[in-house]
Structure 1
Amino acid sequence: MVSFTSLFVATVAAAGALAAPATNMTIEATVPSLVERGGTPSSTGTNNGYYYSWWTDGAAQATYTNNGGGSYSLSWSGNNGNLVGGKGWNPGSSSRTVHYSGTYQPNGNSYLSVYGWTRNALIEYYVVESYGSYNPSSAAQKKGTVSCDGASYDVLSTWRYNAPSIDGTQTFQQFWSVRNPKKNPGGSISGSVTVSCHFNAWRQFGMALGSSFDYQIVATEGYQSSGSSSITVS
């Protein structure tokens, strides 16, 4: 999922920047029929004190809902298309401890991760807590391992060339921490991610994030799959 994730998640910024934020707890499908058939149209903004980002290419039947506080829910079906959504903060932080809880039930390719971007340099980053049938470690260069919050993570990096990003089409690096073993999907899930633990480890492996943070969310992603999640972020 390294290839599809960076492609469609990076498009969140490009697609979402053009969409008006939702004013209700549920984002209504009010765009043309092709997107309506795909369920909830793409959007970014703020909701109940949290930043949210939601993007879909419209190929899957997907419903994204902003619930109270830091909660969101997502369901998708059809084993088709790309989508990603979640809640968090904008800007992100190098010192935040991210807490999440809820349910995560993927069927096929999917991630549950702390996800974000930096500028100066432009970096796309992931701390993957759980995933479906595809392990992102299989398609990136392993730098080593790090122990954070009582768990072991594989540290990896890869490059994306002429790919969509928060600053349009760019060439940029992706930084990864992938929990090993992953938290088992299929039901209740919870945990905490001390982002400084990962960021400091990445720096020791020569992987320096940019000096300016863009958004930082707990994201549920899917690619040619189906599933559901209901996550609360704090």
Structure 2
Amino acid sequence: MKFSTLVVAAVSAVGALAAPAFNETLLSARGGTPSSEGWHSNFFYSWWTDNQGQATYTNGNGGQYSLNWSGNGNLVGGKGWNPGTSGRVINYSGTYQPNGNSYLAVYGWTRNALIEYYVVESYGSYNPSSAAQKKGTVNCNGANYDILTTWRNNQPSIDGTKTFQQFWSVRNPKKNPGGQISGTVQNWAAPSMAWKEISG
């Protein structure tokens, strides 16, 4: 298994969190932040939106960033590492105030095999594991995580449109959203850290 990116990000999506082509005109009309990726303050950052809502992503000092959104649509953005590594300990803190469906999660991809993964610390009104097949439960850092998997058929990925497996590790119980939130995640499976937000 070869790791791709490891990013601390905020994501809003109802489908796969890949980055297909975006419409610059529509982005401008909605007043959002154009999709992009690169390096900032020695961290890799990645930002993508499907242009269905209004969203603003802003890089801050070090590993900090902010993300504000409204309306329906998919988005993912944040900071981390590219390539990622297994065994990384990720400390996070910030303000998490979802309205509707949303995730606060470590997020990433692996190659060989192509896998999209999430370590979900908290979520809004929808448990993202609801439609996945449960494989078991593990205890890590004093918390229980339900382990689940599902498949995405012919969907956008980091390697174009592909069929790939998703893995979910969902904290049970979730951390309470609605304000200040912090924690530690041992990244034992995959390469990218993300805040994931599903709006609408």
Same fold flag (TM > 0.5): yes
The reply to whether residue 76 of structure 1 matches residue 69 of structure 2 is yes
Aligned-partner residue type, residue 115 of structure 1: Y
Aligned-partner residue type, residue 222 of structure 1: I
Aligned-partner residue type, residue 104 of structure 1: Y
> Which piece of structure 1 moves more, 38-47 or 180-189?
38-47
Tell me the secondary structure at the aligned position of residue 10 of structure 1.
Answer: coil
The reply to whether residue 179 of structure 1 matches residue 187 of structure 2 is no
- For residue 42 of structure 2, what is the aligned residue in structure 1? 49
- 8 Å CA contact 2:76–2:194 kept in 1: the answer is no
**Partners of 2:196 and 2:154 in 1: how far apart?**
24
Q: Which one of 14, 18, 21 corresponds to residue 10 of structure 1? A: 18
The reply to whether residue 219 of structure 1 matches residue 188 of structure 2 is no
The reply to whether residue 150 of structure 1 matches residue 158 of structure 2 is no
Tell me the secondary structure at the aligned position of residue 138 of structure 1.
Answer: coil
Question: Which of 1 and 2 has greater Rg?
Answer: 1
Please give the per-residue CA displacement for 1:39-89, whole angstroms capped at 9, x wherever unaligned: 1111111110111111111121111100000000001112x2111111111
**Partners of 1:32 and 1:41 in 2: how far apart?**
7
Q: Percent identity?
A: 70
- 8 Å CA contact 1:15–1:43 kept in 2: the answer is no
TM-score (norm 1): 0.76
Aligned-partner residue type, residue 155 of structure 2: A
Structure 1 ranges of 4+ moved more than 6 A: none
Hey, which of these two has a bigger chunk of strand by percent?
A: 2
Aligned-pair CA distance for 1:120: 0.5
Higher normalized contact order (CA 8 Å, seq sep 6+, divided by chain length): 2
- 8 Å CA contact 1:38–1:59 kept in 2: the answer is no
The reply to whether residue 66 of structure 1 matches residue 66 of structure 2 is no
- For residue 4 of structure 2, what is the aligned residue in structure 1? none
- For residue 85 of structure 1, what is the aligned residue in structure 2? 77
- 8 Å CA contact 2:24–2:34 kept in 1: the answer is no
Tell me the secondary structure at the aligned position of residue 98 of structure 2.
Answer: strand
**Partners of 1:41 and 1:110 in 2: how far apart?**
21
**Partners of 1:92 and 1:5 in 2: how far apart?**
24
Aligned-pair CA distance for 1:33: 3.7
Aligned-pair CA distance for 1:221: 2.1
Number of residue pairs the alignment of both structures matches:
187
Aligned-pair CA distance for 1:32: 4.0
**Partners of 1:5 and 1:127 in 2: how far apart?**
17
TM-score (norm 2): 0.88
Hey, which of these two has a bigger chunk of helix by percent?
A: 1
Aligned-partner residue type, residue 83 of structure 2: P
Aligned-partner residue type, residue 95 of structure 1: G
Aligned-pair CA distance for 1:5: 4.3
Tell me the secondary structure at the aligned position of residue 97 of structure 2.
Answer: strand
Q: Which runs of 5+ in 1 are unaligned?
A: 17-30, 200-212, 225-234
RMSD: 1.7
- For residue 19 of structure 1, what is the aligned residue in structure 2? none
Tell me the secondary structure at the aligned position of residue 106 of structure 1.
Answer: coil
Please give the per-residue CA displacement for 1:2-50, whole angstroms capped at 9, x wherever unaligned: xx5442x122xx449xxxxxxxxxxxxxx84420214111111111011
